[in-house]
Amino acid sequence: MAATRAYAVGFNKQGERQNVQVSRLGHGAAMANANTWRTFATAYIWADGSGYVEVARDRKTLHHFSFDAEGERE
């Protein structure tokens, strides 16, 4: 099992990268969100490499993608 890391970067209305970037280390899991008032995107990854990405709007799931743990053979 590996440590996990979540990154977040801010962009302005013209799509230019802002000077705002954060990074957080997690030993068990890492989660990141990118949201508007109605649309919520969440990415979650556990230390074994498994996790999911989900997008919801108005409390309804639009997309959900899960992935399995990292294997010794890939």
Confidence class of residue 73 from pLDDT cuts 50, 70 and 90? low
Q: What is the pLDDT of residues 8-49, one digit of tens each?
A: 888 888 888 776 778 888 889 999 999 999 999 999 999 999
At residue 8, the pLDDT reads 81
At residue 15, the pLDDT reads 80
- Tell me the Ramachandran region of residue 14: left when phi exceeds 0, alpha when psi lies from -120 to 50, beta otherwise: alpha
Q: What is the pTM of this model?
A: 0.76
